[in-house]
Amino acid sequence: MSLIRLMNTTDDGFDAQLEQLLAWESVSDGAVNNTVNDIIDNIRSRGDEALLEYTNRFDGWQAETAGDLEIPLARLEQAWNTIPQDQRDALEHAAERVRVYHEKQKVESWTYTEDDGTMLGQQVTPLDRVGLYVPGGKAAYPSSVLMNALPAKVAGVSELIMVVPTPGGELNELVLAAARVCGVDRVFAVGGAQAVAALAYGTKSVPPVDKIVGPGNIYVATAKRAVFGQVGIDMVAGPSEILVVCDGKTNPDWVAMDLFSQAEHDEDAQSILVCPDAEFVAQVEASIEKLLPTMEREPIIATALKGRGALIVCRDMDEACEVANYIAPEHLELSVEDPVQMASRIRHAGAIFMGRYTSEPLGDYCAGPNHVLPTSRTVRFSSPLGVYDFQKRSSLILVSEQGAETLGRTASVLARGEGLTAHARSAEYRFEK
C-alpha cells in the first residue's frame, strides 16, 4: 500500500483531483459556539471572578485571587537564566534576525503639499495595546512567541500582553524565556476562550487590548472570531502546507525530509511535491519509505502524507509554476537551479524558499521573515503577519482656502448628483461668501 498518492498532470481529470486534494473547509461546531458565547458573556458580566472560575476549572490549578493569575516578569527572567546556554543563544540569534527583517516592514507617515497649499497624507501610528495568545502544554512553541511578539514591538506597540494557559500550573520555560527576549510587558496564566474574552473586553486585572494575535485550539479560534470587531484579530489558520517544486537535482532525502517537516505538525497538514522528472519522484518516494520509520513523529507524518500529501509529475518547469500559482501554498520551496528567476513568476505563496540550501524550517525559526502565514489558498488575498498588522493609518487632509473652492465645486456637483445636499452645502459654505 502506497505511503503517498502519486499524480500526473497528464492524468484525465487531474484538475478536479487537485481541487479535491486541496479542499479544506473548517467545520464550525454549534456546541463549541454556544460554549464560547457563554464564556464570553460571563467574562463580560463578571470579569475576574469568572476568569478565576474558568481557569481553576479548565486548567486544574487553584488560583485564589485574580492577582495570582499574573506571572511576574521576574519569573521570565528566572526562566531565561535556567535554560541551557545553547537555547539562550538560539533564542537571541533568532530574535535578532527576526527583529532586523521586520524593521524593514515599518510603514512611515507621509504628506505632500499641492500648489494651492492643500496638504494630503497618511499618518501611521502603532496600536496602543496588543494581546498575544500562546497555547499551553505540548503545543507551546517559543518560536510562535518570537514571530507574534516581535512585529508588534517593532511597530511600536506600547503594551504587549501575553496570555498562556498553565495546565496543572505547569509553565514552559522556553516559552517564558522567549517572552523575555521579546520584551513582552505583562503575562497572565490564563487560556482558552476566557483569556480571549478577558483581552477583548478587559477585566479588573487584565487590561483590554486593541488586537489579539497568536494560534490556539478550536475554542480559542472560535472566541477570536466572536470578538472580532470589538478588537482586531490575526487570521484564523488552517492546517500547515508545503509545496516543493524541484527540478529533480536535489538530494531526494532532503526533499523527503522537507515534506516530513510539514507533515509532522498534524494529521491534516499538507505536503506536496511537483517535479517534471518521474524518476526523481520515484526516488523521493523511496526516501520517504526509507526515512519514515526513523521519525519520532512517524504516525502523524504517515497519516498526513497518506491523507493529504501528493507527489505530482508535471510536464515541465513552466507547468510546475502554473501548478504552484494554482495551489497558492503557505510555504513554497523552489529547489531548482535558478530559483530567483522562478520566484519572479510566482504570484501566490506565503513564503518562497529559494534554492536547495533553503530548507523550510529555517523560515520557521530564524531566517528572519515571519512564520505566521496565510493557509488554505488565502495567500491569493493575504500576507504574512508583519509589522504592518500592528500599525494603522489615518488619512490627513488640510485644504487651503483656495482649495476649498476648487474641491468644493467638484464635491458639490457629485453630492447633489447623489442627493446628499447637506454634503453639498457644507462644501459650498467654504467658498460662497
Instruction: Enumerate residues 331-360 that contact its own copies by CB under 8 A.
Output: 339-340, 343-344, 346-355, 357-360
Within 141-160, the residues that bind its own copies by CB under 8 A are 141-143
Tell the burial category of 417 from Cβ atoms under 10 Å away from its Cβ (0-12, 13-18, 19+).
exposed
Give the interface segment with its own copies, choosing from 32-40, 184-192, 309-317, 377-385 (CB under 8 A): 377-385
Whether residue 333 contacts residue 259, with contact meaning beta carbons closer than 8 Å, is answered with no
| Catalytic choice (241, 330, 360, 428) | 330
The span from the CA of 237 to the CA of 42, in Å, is 26
CA-only gyration radius of the chain, Å = 26
Query: For its own copies, what does the binding mask look like between residues 393 and 412, x meaning CB under 8 A?
Result: xxxxxxxxx-xx--xxxxx-
Q: Does residue 128 interact with its own copies by CB under 8 A? A: yes
Q: CA-CA distance, 11 to 96, in Å (whole number)?
A: 48
Beta-carbon contacts of 153 under 8 Å, excluding residues fewer than 6 positions away, are: 99, 160, 182, 183
Tell me whether residue 107 or residue 278 sits nearer to its own copies (CB atom): 107
**Residue 3 CB, nearest distance to its own copies (Å)?**
15
Q: Which of 258, 270, 276, 310 binds its own copies (CB under 8 A)?
A: 258
> Is 331 tagged catalytic?
yes
DSSP code, position 231: B
Instruction: Let me know if 337 is a catalytic residue.
Output: no
49 touches 149 (CB < 8 A):
no
- Report the residue count for the chain: 433
Q: How far is the CB of 151 from its own copies (least distance, A)?
A: 12
Footprint (CB under 8 A) of its own copies, residues 52-111: 86-87, 89-91, 93-94, 97, 101, 104-105, 110
Work out which of 42, 148, 203, 261 binds its own copies, going by CB under 8 A: 261
Nearest to 48 by CA among 37, 36, 34, 63: 63
| Distance, CA of 32 to CA of 173 (rounded, Å) | 31
Annotated binding site for NAD(+): 133, 194, 217
- Catalytic residue, chosen from 241, 331, 371, 428, is 331
Q: Which is nearer to its own copies, 9 or 391 (CB)?
A: 391
Which of 5, 345 has the CB closer to its own copies?
345
For its own copies, the closer of residues 42 and 118 by Cβ is 118
Pull the grid cell for residue 35: 460554549
Touching its own copies, residues 209-238 (CB under 8 A): 210-211, 229, 231-232
Measured CA to CA, the distance from residue 402 to residue 116 in angstroms comes to 6
Give the residue, chosen from 79, 147, 190, 366, that forms a contact with its own copies under the rule CB under 8 A: 366
Distance CA 120, CA 403 (A): 12
For 190, phi then psi, to 5°, come to: -130, 160
Please report, in range form, the residues annotated as the binding site for substrate: 240, 262, 265, 331, 364, 418, 423
* Residues annotated catalytic, as ranges: 330-331
